Amino acid sequence: MNDTNPRRLTIARAMAEAVQQEMQQDPKVFVMGEDIGALGGVFGNTRGLLEEFGGERIRDTPISETAFIGAGVGAAQDGMRPIVELMFVDFFGVCFDAIYNNMAKNNYFSGGNVKVPMVIMTSTGGGYSDGGQHSQCLYGIFAHLPGMKVVAPSNAYDAKGLMTAAIRDDSPVIFMYHKGLQGMGWLGTEAGATVDTPKASYEIEIGKAKVVREGTDVTIVGLAMGVHNGLRAADQLAARGISAEVIDLRSLVPLDRDTVINSVRKTGRLIVVDEDYQSYGVSGEIITSVVEHDYSILRAAPKRVAYPDVPIPFARPMEQFCLPNAEKIVAAYDAM
């Protein structure tokens, strides 16, 4: 297949391809984590890599996140460029010291003399009844703490470009991929995440949001699965003659506030969609960014469609009740 033909890839395959291409051109790049070798990653994002690169660079670890994420920090500080998988973001509870006290702070503590060029890729999101320790997003936790860049793609094209940029970045990057967008049949997959993805390597700049649908009446801001819910809501609103603009944040750190502010300046209305818990999180940060810049550009009180502040329930009807969806976004618009 040549580079000009459209290639529809899943996010899982796009991530694996970005990693593969970086490993081919930089011997310092390697991957470690649980089940990333022979299994190819529980969510498919390292599939095929063991066969090409072998077990030294595609390194299965013990179930021992404190040790292997700490080891990622030490290897990165020693000149390697590790990509470390934290299988579910929910597992951060057993290893957060290595992440936020070491990985995120050592560049600062060293006055910039010790760099930590490391990527943690970690799965997020629910909707498939995996219970409250395998379904969270926790975007706000990682974005809140200084020293880590944070990205969360909504489609394969962005996933590949952001992964390439993350691996090449000299700062630590948390790459949060949503399980429901991953293209694994057994998880049920959002079709809109599987898109044309060039074979040739490319970067998407970390810290740049994208207007994925232009509109004039309301701005819907989301990330990962929230973008797809926003697009569905925009379709429903369009059927009623309402023009919604949809913004895919793509990165949480750095946060592209300008793109959001410019959109709201045009539409005067803002809805933020976030599958992470509502309070103290992404939705509050986005709204604050607009309000403290210029509250007069708002023509109505902003709204948020986020996960309620409860642990994630197992029962399918309860979980679906809690999750953001297009209907909730439309209802938020109607309440403005």
Partner 1 sequence: MAVPDETKLWMYKTMFLSRRFEETIEKIYLEGKTPAFNMANGPIPGEMHLSNGQEPVAVGVCAHLNAEDVVTATHRPHHQAIAKGVDLKRMTAEIFGKATGLSGGRGGHMHLFDPAVNFACSGIIAQGMGPACGAALSRKMQNKPGVAVSFIGEGAVNQGAFHESLNLAAVWNLPVIFVVEDNAWGISVSKKDSTAVARNDVRAAAYDMPGYYIENNDPIAIYDIAGEAIARARAGGGPSLIEIETFRLAGHFMGDAEAYRPAGEKESLGSRDPIPAFRALLQSEGVTSTQLDELEASAESEVAEAISFAQDSDYAPVEDALTHVFA
Phi–psi pair at 83, nearest 5 degrees: -110, 115
Q: Does 68 bind partner 1 (CB under 8 A)?
A: yes
Q: Smallest gap, in angstroms, from Cβ of residue 69 to partner 1?
A: 7
Q: Does 87 bind partner 1 (CB under 8 A)?
A: no
Q: Does 25 bind partner 1 (CB under 8 A)?
A: no
H or E stretch at 13? helix 11-25
Whether the CB-CB separation of 140 and 277 falls below 8 Å is answered with: yes
Q: Does 288 bind partner 1 (CB under 8 A)?
A: no
Q: Does 110 bind partner 1 (CB under 8 A)?
A: yes
Select 70 or 125, whichever has its Cβ closest to partner 1: 70
DSSP output for 177-193: EEGGGS--GGG---GGG
Phi–psi pair at 148, nearest 5 degrees: -120, 135
Q: Where are the beta strands (DSSP E) in the chain?
A: 8-9, 29-33, 58-60, 81-88, 119-124, 149-151, 173-178, 195-196, 210-213, 218-222, 244-248, 251-253, 270-277, 303-307
Residue selected from 117, 161, 226, 230 as contacting partner 1 according to rule CB under 8 A: 117
Q: Smallest gap, in angstroms, from Cβ of residue 168 to partner 1?
A: 11
H or E stretch at 308? none
Residue selected from 21, 46, 61, 164 as contacting partner 1 according to rule CB under 8 A: 61
Q: Smallest gap, in angstroms, from Cβ of residue 19 to partner 1?
A: 16
Q: Does 279 bind partner 1 (CB under 8 A)?
A: no
Q: Does 171 bind partner 1 (CB under 8 A)?
A: yes
- Cis peptide leading into residue 254 (ω within 30°): yes
Footprint of partner 1 (CB under 8 A): 28, 30, 56-57, 61-62, 64, 66-80, 82, 94, 97-98, 101-102, 106-117, 146-147, 149, 169-171
